[in-house]
Amino acid sequence: MPYPIDERIPLADASVSVEEIQAVAEVLTSRRLALGPKLSEFERAMADYVGVRHAVAVNSGTSALHLILEGLGIGEGDEVITTSFSFIASANCILFVRATPVFVDIDPTTLCIDPARVEAAITPKTKAILAVDVFGHPADWPELERIAEAHGLLLIEDSAEALGSTLGGRPCGSFGCAGIFGFYPNKQITTGEGGMIVTDDGELANVCRSMANQGRGEGDEWLEHVRLGYNYRMDELSAALGLAQLGRIGEFIESRTRVASWYEEELAACPEITTPSIADRATSSWFVYVVRLSDDFDAAQRNAILAALECEGIGCRNYFAPIHLQPFYREALGTKAGSLPVTERIGARTIALPFFNRLTRAQVARVAAALRSAIDEVRRG
């Protein structure tokens, strides 16, 4: 029997306080709902937080990636090496500019792109590497930087899931020629929908800002357009919400780290699953909490466990489904099963558990108990 809705534990839940509500209300009262001061404040605060010179707010992380690729001149005939173990936007943006995504396998521990596989995939057509900080864990950026420099490639950081994560004390989003963040409600901070480009390249920032605003040039008249552009702007309400949320980022990361530690304690004695680990010199701001079933489980058994958790009123999901196995990519690029064995093995066995700032210890214990019970049930057949 389904749980009553008020007893269900959702997969994700945004933290919005009185301060955020007041910040949005102030914008409504001002009647300046677009292209106002809150947008500039949010961009400056984000650039300062990441430690870069420029930030450009847009309406989604997907738009942010698209603009970076356009701004860097990546296009038809170019190849971009990337990961299949990601949200589909990180590959779609490559197709937006008519370039070709080249998928390589992942590191089985961090779940981020494997630098050795990247180097082996470079061809004369390779223009860039687009790596992802998966689930908030930093990719191996020093090695990716070395590869990019050695081969004259552009390096782009999809840090949509990693605001607040660091590697060697350096914030995610500050590696490569540009990076992006996403602010969907399940992220570390939210603007409802929204994204941010971060870079030290002033020319790239200006071009991206222009393209996000219908191709208008800096200081140009309202109906003068200097390049092809898009309506990718972030509105003032979203910027005000994001600015207030960014002011609480330390609180949010602390809460998420605490919830992750509770899961680790509750699931440490469960031999059928592997819990997330953090590499040396890295910190994670914990976007989601994803466990992996051992290799003697298959995808059908994983799906049965997901169904059992849902019946117990617990939000859950397989996370991620490999991009190269998506129907569209199979048809468009001819990708097929067996080409990325690590990605496919892990993708068939992942379970994302409820994870958000206000999750309680008691709720974590309930989730862990239900997961162990579901695993036992599947084991018994």
Structure tokens at 255: 């809460």
Q: Name the residue among 307, 323, 327, 318 with its Cα closest to residue 375.
A: 307
Which residues make Cβ contacts (< 8 Å) with residue 40, sequence separation at least 6? Answer: none
The DSSP annotation for 244-302 comes to HHHTTHHHHHHHHHHHHHHHHHHHTT-TTEE-----TTEE---S-EEEEE-TTS-HHHH
Q: Which residues are catalytic?
A: 187
Other beta carbons less than 10 A from residue 292's beta carbon: 21
Q: What are residue 361's phi and psi, to 5 degrees?
A: -60, -40
